[in-house]
């Protein structure tokens, strides 16, 4: 009977020890389960070059946060699908990431057309979605789980330029503007602020025309602007048609006081293609590697090491910034609960490489667009004053 009691006590002790071992090991094993962040990017197709830069920015963020112990004490990893620059596939993969892969978080996509299409998917499944958005209309649909941090907003693209122009004495401002806009949603998003600000600043819009892409020849457009003595030119297009506008202006010796270009002049290819003729063009951006906000110096150092360039590429920065914002929502909420993350972002300030942001009911920060100008082959920040890297050149010097 005594031996039986001893055997029973030994078994009890063994089971107790095993239980302690399982408790001790289960905690670390559970804590080490990664947080999976899913979605799609255009890694092939028309937008692949930009999509790959966004991916690199996201992965740099992941390396950085994992080196610091992860998110909520857990490592992060990505589930990235290639949507082949197809909007329909971007929607399909967002659905798959949420419903099949059961990802913990959703990352922002590209371009704006894909982001706009994924926003209702995120809303349906109540997943926080931080991306560039699809210009203002995408943020006016009543979605509560979508944020732009920072957004890429055509409606704000020239905001910084006009704020700077307001500081120029009225008698030194341009008198007549020619506005040429590509006929698509991106181009259309640029026109509202032009109409508002030119009226406010007393600048007459004498040409307001749209053109279809691809633009076969910019010469007739520039000739008309010159004939009507327009001393301000808005070339509201992409890179290719923007280059054509500049070449036509030089060929016709059309030299307005200010030339503004839409989406294209802030990329390195602008100066490679145009050389000194690409100088003095104004544009806008919501993010840039010369901003003096915390983190930009670190990203620039990484770019020098990995890409052998002085400043990080714009869309590399976007990929990093969107993840930076999402992570602050998670850490602020101390949870992966999507509604808690959303509510925290709606009521708190975040810090990003694009600056501090708070969000309105649409999921947008206050209008954030910095005025840029190409000066001596470099993209410089000229407005606002607190981020200025060079004095703006105005009026535009004559062609050489």
User: Domain check: are 175 and 271 in the same one?
Assistant: yes
Range in 25-29, 110-114, 395-399 with the lowest mean pLDDT: 25-29
The predicted pLDDT at position 6 comes to 47
- Judge whether residue 27 has pLDDT over 70: no
pLDDT-based confidence at 32, cuts 50/70/90?
confident
- Judge whether residue 318 has pLDDT over 50: yes
pLDDT-based confidence at 267, cuts 50/70/90?
confident
- Judge whether residue 64 has pLDDT over 90: yes
Both tokens assigned to 41: 């990017």
Q: Please provide the size of the chain in residues.
A: 400
List, for residues 199-258, the tens digit of each pLDDT value: 999 999 999 999 999 999 999 999 999 999 999 999 999 899 999 999 999 999 999 999
In a domain, 164, yes or no: yes
pLDDT-based confidence at 310, cuts 50/70/90?
confident
pLDDT-based confidence at 14, cuts 50/70/90?
very low
Domain that holds residue 163: 156-285+370-387
In a domain, 163, yes or no: yes
277 with 246: CB under 8 angstroms? yes
User: Domain check: are 239 and 383 in the same one?
Assistant: yes
pLDDT-based confidence at 18, cuts 50/70/90?
very low
Which residues, 6+ apart, have CB-to-CB distance to 20 below 8 Å?
none
Share of the chain above pLDDT 90, in %: 84
User: Domain check: are 96 and 244 in the same one?
Assistant: no
Number of structural domains, the chain? 2
User: Domain check: are 56 and 70 in the same one?
Assistant: yes
Query: How many Å apart are CA 276 and CA 67, to the nearest integer?
Result: 43
Question: What count of other Cβ atoms lies within 10 Å of the Cβ of residue 251?
Answer: 13
In a domain, 400, yes or no: no
- Judge whether residue 166 has pLDDT over 70: yes
The predicted pLDDT at position 385 comes to 95
Query: How many Å apart are CA 360 and CA 370, to the nearest integer?
Result: 20
What three-state secondary structure class fits 334?
A: coil
User: Domain check: are 78 and 100 in the same one?
Assistant: yes
- Judge whether residue 9 has pLDDT over 60: no
User: Domain check: are 73 and 167 in the same one?
Assistant: no
* Global confidence as pTM: 0.85
User: Domain check: are 136 and 199 in the same one?
Assistant: no
- Judge whether residue 377 has pLDDT over 50: yes
User: Domain check: are 75 and 210 in the same one?
Assistant: no
User: Domain check: are 210 and 265 in the same one?
Assistant: yes
Range in 12-26, 28-42, 78-92, 334-348 with the lowest mean pLDDT: 12-26
List, for residues 290-307, the tens digit of each pLDDT value: 999 999 999 999 999 998
Look at the block and give the residue holding tokens 């693209």: 157
In a domain, 193, yes or no: yes
In a domain, 90, yes or no: yes
State the CATH number of the domain containing residue 174: 3.40.50.2300
pLDDT-based confidence at 19, cuts 50/70/90?
very low
In a domain, 144, yes or no: yes
pLDDT-based confidence at 8, cuts 50/70/90?
low
User: Domain check: are 271 and 327 in the same one?
Assistant: no
In a domain, 364, yes or no: no
Stronger pLDDT, 4 or 80, i.e. the higher one? 80
The predicted pLDDT at position 28 comes to 41
Range in 168-177, 181-190, 316-325, 341-350 with the lowest mean pLDDT: 181-190
User: Domain check: are 189 and 297 in the same one?
Assistant: no
Phi (first) and psi of residue 222, to 5 degrees: -70, -40
In a domain, 21, yes or no: no
Residue of 65, 154, 53 whose CA lies nearest to 105? 65
* Mean per-residue pLDDT of the chain: 92
User: Domain check: are 173 and 232 in the same one?
Assistant: yes
């Amino acid at each position: 009977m005594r031996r039986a009691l001893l055997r029973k006590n030994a078994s009890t002790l063994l089971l107790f020890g095993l239980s302690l071992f399982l408790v001790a090991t289960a905690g670390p094993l559970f804590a080490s389960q990664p947080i999976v962040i899913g979605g799609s990017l255009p890694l092939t197709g028309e937008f692949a070059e930009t999509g790959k830069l966004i991916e690199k920015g996201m992965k740099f963020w992941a390396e950085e946060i994992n080196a610091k112990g992860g998110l909520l004490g857990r490592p992060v990893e990505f589930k990235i699908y290639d949507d082949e620059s197809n909007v329909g596939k971007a929607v399909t993969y967002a659905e798959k990431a949420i419903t099949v892969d059961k990802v913990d978080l959703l990352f922002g996509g590209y371009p704006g057309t894909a982001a706009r299409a994924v926003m209702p998917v995120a809303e349906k499944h109540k997943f926080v979605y931080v991306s560039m958005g699809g210009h203002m209309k995408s943020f006016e649909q009543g979605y509560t789980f979508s944020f732009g941090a920072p957004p890429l907003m055509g409606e704000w693209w020239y905001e910084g330029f006009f704020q700077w122009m307001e500081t120029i004495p009225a008698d030194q401002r341009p008198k007549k503007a020619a506005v040429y806009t590509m006929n698509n949603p991106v181009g259309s998003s640029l026109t509202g602020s032009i109409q508002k600000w030119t009226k406010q600043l007393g600048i007459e819009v004498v040409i307001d025309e749209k053109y279809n892409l691809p633009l076969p020849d910019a010469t007739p457009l520039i000739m008309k602007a010159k004939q009507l003595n327009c001393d301000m030119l808005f070339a509201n297009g992409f890179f290719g048609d923007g280059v054509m506008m500049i070449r036509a202006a030089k060929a016709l010796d059309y030299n307005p006081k200010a030339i503004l270009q839409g989406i294209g002049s802030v990329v390195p290819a602008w100066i490679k293609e145009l050389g000194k003729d690409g100088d003095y063009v104004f544009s806008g951006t919501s993010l840039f590697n010369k901003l003096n906000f915390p983190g930009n110096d670190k990203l620039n150092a990484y770019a020098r090491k990995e890409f052998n360039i002085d400043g990080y590429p714009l869309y590399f920065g976007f990929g990093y910034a969107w993840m930076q914002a999402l992570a602050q929502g998670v850490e602020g909420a101390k949870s992966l609960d999507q509604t808690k993350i959303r509510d925290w972002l709606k009521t708190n300030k975040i810090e990003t490489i694009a600056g501090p942001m708070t969000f309105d009911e649409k999921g947008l920060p206050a209008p954030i667009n910095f005025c840029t100008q190409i000066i001596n082959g470099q993209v410089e920040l000229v407005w606002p004053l607190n981020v200025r890297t060079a004095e703006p050149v105005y009026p535009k010097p004559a062609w050489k």
